Amino acid sequence: MVQTAVSIKEEFLNKIDEKTAIIGVIGLGYVGLPLLNCFVEKGFQSVGFDIDDSKVRALSDGKSYIKHIPSSRIQQAVSSGKFRATTDYSELDKCDAILMAVPTPLNKNREPDMSYVEATCEEVSKHMRPGQIIILESTTYPGTTDELMVPILEKSGLKVNKDFYVAFSPEREDPNNPNYTTETIPKVVGATSPDGLEVAEKLYQQIVVNTVPVSSTKAAEATKLMENIFRSVNIALVNELKVTFMKMGIDIWEVIEAAKTKPFGYMPFYPGPGLGGHCIPIDPFYLTWKAREYGIATRFIELAGEINTAMPEFVVTRAMEVLNEQGKALRGSKILLLGLAYKANVDDDRESPSYRIMELLEDKGAQVDYNDPYVPVIRPSREYPHYAGRKSQDISNEYDLVIITTPHDEYKSFDFSNVTVPILDTRNVVQGNGVKVYKA
């Protein structure tokens, strides 16, 4: 008997209701691992896929490699009998839903690098069967799901919206945010058909507080970009104001605190040494790239990118000025960076501006160490492989300058009164008297 699209949908919805649907998650990083845990904790048999064998081994042993996800949660998932991790992609044919959370970086020309999505879709297409739904969670340009994913998946010989469904639901993870978790953040969902949307919504409704359906995968892809472009532009604005106010002798942090008292028409954003993380430094350029296909120049977005990208150079210039006040040159000076993670209280150092600051300082002849309680050893990365293996150093007076680049709670509570060398604070961390503190 040939299975119709209607019967595929009804069978899938029944599997969700009965919790017999098997969930597969590809990419067990900051997005995929929490997603997998959520389905397990709601009673669904779930399989995690990753090409990194060390991650699979750690999870199989009940160990977490992400700081804000405790190992106890992994151990509980494993002991439930509903959680497995594997590098064997042939097991994808056992999964009813396949959720993809793979990297979507930029290449050296700041153009989308879709190689991870393409390779994953190629692998999925080898192990597809009728009745599945494939959902992309990785942030990308509008049109990726329809124009890139579907043709690759149809190499399986199956037809979208007839034999299988495809959807896009952008991740909204904010690692270590105490107020919002995967379960409590509404989930935007778009699909290539009404039936696919119904299935995708029903699936996510099992684990999140509510879903937000949109008319298409393009609308869902654009939603994620809008969210992060909003942040990028506003952070660029406050970074530009920081530089301007500093020239005027005005403390931007004081101004922000005063502006925050207005109960309407204002939302606080905070300056820093540059942008980091897996979203905000990258996502806006996905839209600028795609917009060129339509003859559109996204000048506002690109200007914000230029301002934010230039902030590490501003920090290095301020470092030179501070050292000059001490009668020292940057070349030959010993500098300690406080913080490699891109944001406070996480071990996520992807796209962290601290690496660019370190590189710029060393290019000018400085000797640079770092301290970060969340990144004890620098892991290999695509952008800065030469820093892999460096270890966190203690805060001491052996340096000529200390630069605070990440506002970890450990730094906010640290007694800097014993630090006799000048401190360049890019995050407004140091409060108190008797410390040589400079702003950047």
Count of beta carbons in the 10 Å neighbourhood of residue 20: 12
Using DSSP's 3-state secondary structure scheme, residue 1 falls into coil
Do 432 and 285 belong together in one domain? yes
Residues 195 and 87 in one domain: yes
Question: What pLDDT sits at residue 109?
Answer: 80
3 state SS of 99? strand
> Both 22 and 168 in a single domain?
yes
Residue where one domain finishes, among candidates 174, 190, 215: 215
For residue 148, report the phi and psi dihedrals to the nearest 5 degrees: -105, -50
User: Are residues 148 and 275 both part of a single domain?
Assistant: no
Q: What is the pLDDT of residues 206-245, one digit of tens each?
A: 999 999 999 999 999 999 999 999 999 999 999 999 999 9
Asked if residue 342 is part of any domain, the answer here is yes
Q: Tell me, yes or no, whether 202 and 60 share the same domain.
A: yes
- Per residue in 121-150, pLDDT (tens digit) is 999 999 999 999 999 999 999 999 999 999
pLDDT tens-digit series, residues 379-391: 988 889 999 999 9
User: Is residue 207 located within the same domain as residue 318?
Assistant: no
Say which residue the tokens 């043709």 belong to: 151
434 lies in some domain? yes
Does residue 238 lie in a domain region? no
State the total domains in the chain: 2
Is residue 246 included in any domain, yes or no?
Answer: no
Centre a 10 Å sphere on the Cβ of residue 162 and count the other Cβ atoms it contains. 14
Task: Please report whether residue 224 resides in a domain.
Answer: no
pLDDT band, residue 111 (cuts 50/70/90): confident
268 and 169 in a common domain: no
**pLDDT attached to residue 1:** 46
In this structure, the answer to whether residues 204 and 275 fall within a common structural domain is no
Q: Tell me if 430 is assigned to some domain.
A: yes
In this predicted structure, the answer to whether residue 2 has a pLDDT above a threshold of 60 is no
Q: For the segment 252-266, what is each residue's pLDDT rounded down to a tens digit?
A: 999 999 999 999 999
Provide the pLDDT for residue 3.
Answer: 62
Residue 106: is its pLDDT beyond 70?
yes
Q: What is the pLDDT of residue 276?
A: 84
Please report the pLDDT score of residue 328 as a whole number.
97
Same domain, yes or no: 173 and 61: yes
Q: Are residues 176 and 82 in the same domain?
A: yes
Alpha-carbon distances of 249 from 38, 201, 202, 252, 255, rounded to whole Å: 50, 53, 55, 9, 12
277 pLDDT tier (thresholds 50, 70, 90): confident
- Say whether both 311 and 369 belong to one domain: yes
Strand ranges across the sheet with 423-425: 367-371, 334-338, 401-404, 423-425, 437-439
Dihedral, CA of residue 348, residue 349, residue 353 and residue 354, to nearest 10: 120
Residue 284: inside a domain: yes
Query: Coil, strand, or helix at residue 253?
Result: helix
Q: How many CB atoms lie within 10 A of CB 339?
A: 30
User: The domain that contains 347 carries what CATH number?
Assistant: 3.40.50.720
Domain that holds residue 295: 264-439
Whether residue 47 is found in the same domain as residue 177: yes
pLDDT tens for 179-199 read 899 999 999 999 999 999 999
| pTM, rounded to two decimals | 0.91
Task: Identify residue 7 by its one-letter amino acid code.
Answer: S
* pLDDT higher than 60, residue 326: yes
Query: How far is C-alpha 144 from the chain's CA centre?
Result: 19
Q: Is 245 inside a domain boundary?
A: no
* Active site members: 279
Among residues of the chain, what percentage have pLDDT more than 70? 98
Is the predicted pLDDT of residue 335 greater than 80, yes or no? yes
Is residue 170 over pLDDT 60? yes
Is pLDDT above 60 for 307? Answer: yes
Pair 243, 203: CB distance under 8 Å: no
The pLDDT score that the predictor gives to residue 21 is 98
